[in-house]
Structure 1
Amino acid sequence: MFDHPLNSLGFAKPPSETRVVVAMSGGVDSSVVAAQLAEEGYDVVGVTLQLYDHGAALAKKGACCAGRDIHDAARVAEVMGFPHYVLDYENTFREAVIEEFADAYLAGATPVPCIRCNERVKFKDLLATARDLNADCMATGHYIQRKVGDGPELHMATDANRDQSYFLFSTTPEQLAYLRFPLGHLASKAETRALAAKYGLSVADKPDSQDICFVPNGNYAAVIEKLRPGSADPGDIVDQSGRVLGQHRGVIHYTIGQRKGLGIGGLGDPLYVVKLDPALRQVIVGPKEALSTRVIPLREINWLGEAPFESREEWHLNVKVRSTRPPRTAVVRPISATEATVELLDPEDGISPGQACVFYAPEGSRVFGGGWIWRGR
């Protein structure tokens, strides 16, 4: 038994003796993972999370884990011949993700709920459920790679256009040891869809979900108003000296770096949102150079390096402060095991509390974790 070669998931036993729980959202990515592992002979168990009331106004047709997606996941399991379960995680999702999302927006931050969902729901409670099912590992359809060095390492996906490392920086070493990401090495999404067609999956041409699953059509403000009635009270748009330039329709409608839709045109040079003050109900605007940030405070740091984070006075890494921006050179200076100051060698515009700052190796694809930006510039 101990001489058996490692299977594709890294276990020294036949696939038929290797149980893997696949987190199935109903989309093409996780469906292909489940189908591929089933075809390879693994003992696959599909699990889909019901994250919110599909009949409520918050739900969006075609969103992640909405009613249609549960049906699609179940259909894949039926076609490929493995068991599939739907777990009710509505209360957990609301408490761990949606409530914080609303509170963060009300506090003038720009939250990233998909990271919190991975951290607090999928890679915590669902992972614990996988262990309860005696699974050897849990697989997902995320585009990221897990490689083995001195221990399991997190690496960017081969396809830079699909890479989801920004949303997975808080994955802990213990979780990484248990997780598998079978799609991370693929060169393009076209390969994933080709595999779906090969397995005869009905989701082969299903569109990707573009929005946060509980935010219909990307309308954050409408969701916040529903969760926190009265949160869209109007107030003043002011410049950095406090001079009133106009009126806004609620702080929750604005984000750091926003230029369009301010309703204060004709004042000379373009003005951008540089700060939000919910307590005073003020949107503070200024010139583009006022958005420039060089030093970023972080907390809740998750470190994925071998040496302890605080074992050095500084780490020379690349960092990404938004999912859509490329990594840039920085010096990370630990304050404690979970706090740090990041100094960007070249300033970045539009950095906002509530966003993540993710650490990358200066060369290569390795992800070293990251932390949360927690206060204004």
Structure 2
Amino acid sequence: MNHGNKKQVRVGMVGYKFMGKVHSHAYRDVPFYFEPEAVPVLQAIAGRNEAELKQTAAKLGWLSCETDWRRLIERDDIDLIDIVAPNHLHAEIAIAAAEGGKHILCEKPLAMTLEQAYRMRDAAKKSGVVHMLSHNYRFAPAVQYAKQLIASGRLGRIYHLRATYLQDWLIDPRYPMEWRLQKELTGSGVLGDIGSHIIDLARFLVGGISEVVGRMDTIVKRRPLPGQPMSEEPDRAPMGDVTVDDACSFLATFENGATGVFEATRFAGGNRVGNRFEINGEKGSVRWDMENMNHLQVYFVDDEPGLQGFRTILCTEAQHPFAGNYWPSGHIIGYEHTFINLVSELMNGIARGDSPQPNFDDGVANQEVLAAVEKSVITKKWETVGK
């Protein structure tokens, strides 16, 4: 594809599984839908399994491979380091990338700990590189439109937010151990994995969170080690301890006085991506559900009696954020387009030299909430965020 004289951003990606596939697709498609100020080039991908890596690189369109992520940072033909590796690698890679003068896109959560998050943010700012955090759900047109309604005052003073992220993929106790279930590799369990998404959405839509009180539960405490067949009697297989939370809930107070109720779990049967929020204000309310991501439900208190109730807005009009770059009205978009929208902002940010939101500042703010929730579980009392 001919991109004329536009700046090229040569990407080096660390990791290549689920998120690697999603990010690769976004890089390839962003010039098709948008006119970004810079265009990505799939320069190199890094991973440990060389045979699998080469196969994946060929399928996804990457030009070269490296079996050591450090080589990506050493290479002069890489401008952006994209981190889709497990959480325990985020800080080391991001700090090395910043010190090497590379722009950074990092998967969520930003870090394993708040201390790591501070170091990552400080390294990125000190080096002056562009940094962004991959909280893709912000970039659904319906979520962006909800933000516009709130920011414009259409809902008035915000009273409260209810947010959930419900999954069910761990209900079977025979499901084997993986890195997301081990504290030394992931930091926290469902709280950091999917709870971080609804925290980021809440901060984006309603504002900063000042205090929290939470509860965390590990429902299945031991699981078969990886590589074991799915046995009807899992206790007979070699077992490992689950060292993170399976379910988490917490209450929150926002800096503007609004209250929040949050729940994240992997044990909510029938929910695949139950990422949902409802926000209530003095003049109206909005609801959103990721499993029906193109719709935003909107209610205004001053609607005439007899017609009051939630209306459903299909956010595919050209007037809706990002939607005009895709198809004619009513032709819906999907999960992958949230990443394309995010990458379009990242490319523009790199061209301009600024870090689009959500960036590492947002990652730190989210991490402060995660840390406060974890602390409150231990102290069994309300904890101030950021202290």
TM-score (norm 1): 0.29
Q: Which has the higher contact order (CA 8 A, sep 6+)?
A: 2
TM-score (norm 2): 0.28
> In proportion to residue count, which structure has more helix?
2
